[in-house]
Structure 1
Amino acid sequence: MDSIDITAVNAYKDGIVAGKYKGLQGLIKSKGITVIEGEGKLQGTDTVVVNGTAYKGKNIVLATGSYSRSLPGLEIGGRVITSDEALTMDYIPKSVIVLGGGVIGVEFASVWKSFGVDVTIVEGLPSLVPNEDTAIVKNLERAFKKRGIKFSTGVFFQGVEQDDNGVKVTLVDGQTFEADLLLVAVGRGPVTANLGYEEAGVTIDRGFVITNERLHTGVGNVYAVGDIVPGVQLAHRGYQQGIFVAEEIAGLNPVVVEDVNIPKVTFCEPEIATVGYTEKGAKEKFGEDQVQTQEYNLAGNGKSSILGTGGIVKVVRQKDGPVVGIHMIGSRMGEQIGEAQLIVNWEAHPEDVAQFIHAHPTQNETLGEVHLALAGKPLHG
């Protein structure tokens, strides 16, 4: 590829977003839902005031979302940007330092590297994607090194200087890095300030709305969903919580889905797809000697060879019990998360999954083979 037409990239992205937004607007209209545009504020336990007009409701759902966070004292502006600014840039920088090696950080580092940008990730914790299983971490770091994505881990950020030519980042041990831009990717914060939540009696902790497992705030008929509720900040978690609260209000007694069992995909290259407990988490939960694991290397999978990708699938089970975690890495492996979440959430045993036929040649075969191996019937080895 000789060059990237960033104007065309942005137009394509904006077209997808606009199309989905238009579809949602049409869906809302078709259901007879009233939309009131403006800045709202909770007043008491049954009223929302918008532009001076009060609207009362039997039930209220707080769903005010999140914003791109920064670090204390780290001001966003100029050449120091967040994902908000990165998504609207009309040029491709020559070099970028990414502060934060979590999901957002590795996704932007990956796409920028694909555009030919010189990328360095700075992560204060000991590894990239520190919440993932150690086997996934090892594979991602190896893949990033192979792609030429540089990273510094285990040393925290101290400060940044910027001028017309670029930025200079300093770590607490004195190391320095220079680039055109600094992307601050240290997570997202809840949007709850100055919205009347605390005045109405809603409990707030570090900006998050505290609820019980059924997403009730403990105040009147006020519920909360999405990124303002502590836990994994994912769009599909927000969808699921919205459906849950609607069914709860309707008296349908919906089933609680624990955060650990929500499927997660990190859209870097290679992709990461996980659901359930890591090996470490499972051992903490069930006991050091009560956990079994199995890995399958994508090198043995025909479709992965066609795609030119490496990676692994790792399954974690309770000893002689159900599968409690599935962790995958490799190009397009995010598409396999559907079956993985069914296996974990339906508490299937490897012996159950081993009976099913997985189509050839697909990457889906990797799930079949790793469960065959964990059931004591490996096709290879």
Structure 2
Amino acid sequence: MANEYDLVVLGGGTAGYVSAIRASQLGMKVAIVEKEKLGGTCLHKGCIPTKSLLKSAEVFSYMKHADQYGIKPVEANYDFKEIRARKDEVVEKMYGGVQHLMKANKIDIYTGTGRILGPSIFSPQAGTISVEYSNGESELLVNKHVLICTGSTPRELPFLPFNHETVLSSDDMMTLDQLPKSMVIIGGGVIGLEFASLLADLEVEVTVVEAGSAIIPAEDKKISRILQKELEKKGIKFYIGESLSVDNVDHNAEGVTFKLSQEVSAEKVLVAIGRTPNSTDIGLSNTKIKVNNGFIEVNEYYQSEDRHIYAVGDVIGNLQLAHVATKEGTIAVEHMNDAAPIALDYNTVPKCIYTSPEVASIGMTEEQAKAAGFDTQIKAVPFAAIGKAVISGNSNGQAVLVKDKDSDEVLGLSMIGPNVTEIINEVALAKFMNASTLELGLTVHAHPSVSEVLMELGLASVGRAIHI
């Protein structure tokens, strides 16, 4: 006997469970199929645990440099097993909260592997979900709508596959019992640099190898250069524009050696070159759904070619961020219910890198804005002009504003400095409300606060800056 639902969500990660809650609020009978744990990569292997590790690294760094704040330094030490235990405690607490939310919203959870079936006696259209359990049994979930939230997995190098001992993925970093003395990180993107930052703060010898011409290539070039310089101060070595192949990598039980412009060896290597969408083996061949390089093609409301089947998050290939996936999911669910959702403008989405110092941005860089045909004006404010940033001991960064000369619209804003992953949300609100740069400058900001940098930027855009 098949179970019947208004909506079946494939994948119980952040996008999956948030979308399920929104669907329940709208009166839908909802089920989630998840083969591992609710919360997915973000809760168990990504956003939450990495930030817990970064916080521990930050505290350790503060202790080592206490003399910068007039405090007599102490001999700081750490036990990585205890750092990991704290991370696990944080994750478990959040996981308990998600489980409670599922019960409170009367959402059924099926712990197994879900696959989409084609038309059958149960339904004239594709979409019935077969749930297969580890004991070999299975059951069917008949539905009116399907939402695919299957996420992504770390991508590996064909000539250096993960062995989970010396060649690691970001997932493997969550289960290390102890840190190596040295590590090479392949990839100078967000994931690679966050791990580089925390490992360096925990006194691991770190080398970053990036094939492109700069780290964080999607971000503002000035911000990229400042971040590299700040990370180099921590002792991180960078090899930029270095291509890897089977010919310049020597891998054995002792570790990995790379023959670059110089020979680099390390106990372990972290491969952080991006993520691959989880779109195989979920039954897409039984549907009309189109796939491009593994990513599911959807419209602005996340409908696939089978209009009752929607897909969101990493599996559709837009910004691979948890908050993007949850927004996409809620839009999809509201569209199913004819609730007239507003389509997501990806230029209003904040992007954050939780290195030390932090990086945050929204909208377009100067290069992207010019390529889009805008007549741009650029203004920059150093954090050295912001009292609260100077107090924090982290004032080497800056904020860069990109605006349209004709409309005074904020086209983009990038920052590197203290607490920028928090204050970027103020810019997100300004973008969502279509505020001008002048309005950003005229908004009263508390003094002293790091967010005063936004007021200075807004005023600078019209020639009225006070502190620069």
Which TM bucket (shorter chain)? over 0.9
1:47 correspondence with 2:128: yes
Greater shift, 141-150 or 21-30, is seen at 141-150
1:318 correspondence with 2:399: no
Which residue number in structure 2 is paired with residue 300 of structure 1?
A: 385
Does the 8 Å contact 2:328/2:344 carry over to 1?
A: no
TM-score normalised to structure 2 length: 0.79
Which residue number in structure 2 is paired with residue 70 of structure 1?
A: 156
TM-score normalised to structure 1 length: 0.96
Which residue number in structure 1 is paired with residue 336 of structure 2?
A: 249
Does the 8 Å contact 1:110/1:269 carry over to 2?
A: yes
**What secondary structure, in the 3-state scheme, does the structure 1 residue paired with 2:429 have?**
helix
Shift of residue 143, structure 1, vs aligned partner: 0.9
Alignment equivalent of 1:225, drawn from 283, 304, 312:
312
Shift of residue 135, structure 1, vs aligned partner: 1.4
Does the 8 Å contact 1:286/1:318 carry over to 2?
A: no
Does the 8 Å contact 1:61/1:223 carry over to 2?
A: yes
Which residue number in structure 1 is paired with residue 427 of structure 2?
A: 340
Q: Which residue identity lines up with residue 60 of structure 1 in the other structure?
A: V
Q: Which residue identity lines up with residue 65 of structure 1 in the other structure?
A: G
Shift of residue 162, structure 1, vs aligned partner: 2.5
Q: Which residue identity lines up with residue 37 of structure 1 in the other structure?
A: T
Q: Which residue identity lines up with residue 170 of structure 1 in the other structure?
A: K
| 1:62-121 Cα deviation digits (max 9, x unpaired) | 111110111233211131111111111010111100000000010000000010011000
**What secondary structure, in the 3-state scheme, does the structure 1 residue paired with 2:97 have?**
helix
Which residue number in structure 1 is paired with residue 177 of structure 2?
A: 90
| 1:180-236 Cα deviation digits (max 9, x unpaired) | 111000011111111111331211111111111110002140000111011110111
Shift of residue 27, structure 1, vs aligned partner: 0.6
Greater shift, 229-238 or 256-265, is seen at 256-265
1:163 correspondence with 2:245: no
Which residue number in structure 1 is paired with residue 43 of structure 2?
A: none
Q: Which residue identity lines up with residue 272 of structure 2 in the other structure?
A: A
Q: Which residue identity lines up with residue 48 of structure 1 in the other structure?
A: I
Q: Which residue identity lines up with residue 112 of structure 2 in the other structure?
A: G
Mapping of 1:27-176 within 5 angstroms? 27-44=101-118, 45-51=126-132, 52-77=138-163, 78-159=165-246, 160-171=249-260, 175-176=262-263
Q: Which residue identity lines up with residue 140 of structure 2 in the other structure?
A: A
Q: Which residue identity lines up with residue 353 of structure 1 in the other structure?
A: L
Shift of residue 175, structure 1, vs aligned partner: 4.1
Measured in 2, the distance between the counterparts of 1:91 and 1:112 equals 11
Which residue number in structure 1 is paired with residue 69 of structure 2?
A: none
Measured in 2, the distance between the counterparts of 1:164 and 1:59 equals 49
Does the 8 Å contact 2:442/2:458 carry over to 1?
A: no
Aligned-residue RMSD, C-alpha = 1.3
Does the 8 Å contact 2:189/2:217 carry over to 1?
A: yes
Q: Which residue identity lines up with residue 157 of structure 2 in the other structure?
A: L
| 1:332-376 Cα deviation digits (max 9, x unpaired) | 211111101112232221111121111011101111111111122
Does the 8 Å contact 2:418/2:450 carry over to 1?
A: no
Does the 8 Å contact 1:324/1:347 carry over to 2?
A: no
Measured in 2, the distance between the counterparts of 1:32 and 1:325 equals 41
Which residue number in structure 1 is paired with residue 86 of structure 2?
A: 12
How many percent of aligned residue pairs carry the same amino acid?
34
**What secondary structure, in the 3-state scheme, does the structure 1 residue paired with 2:129 have?**
strand
1:317/1:70 Cα in 2 relative to 1: closer, same or farther (>3 Å)?
same
| 1:255-305 Cα deviation digits (max 9, x unpaired) | 111333211100111111011001100111134xx1111100000111111
Q: Which residue identity lines up with residue 46 of structure 1 in the other structure?
A: G
Shift of residue 320, structure 1, vs aligned partner: 3.3
Mapping of 1:173-188 within 5 angstroms? 175-188=262-275
**What secondary structure, in the 3-state scheme, does the structure 2 residue paired with 1:369 have?**
helix
1:210 correspondence with 2:297: yes
Which residue number in structure 1 is paired with residue 451 of structure 2?
A: 364
**Gap regions ≥5 residues in structure 2:** 1-63, 65-75, 119-125, 133-137
Does the 8 Å contact 1:202/1:219 carry over to 2?
A: yes
Aligned length: 377
Greater shift, 213-222 or 91-100, is seen at 213-222
1:328 correspondence with 2:412: no
Does the 8 Å contact 1:325/1:344 carry over to 2?
A: no
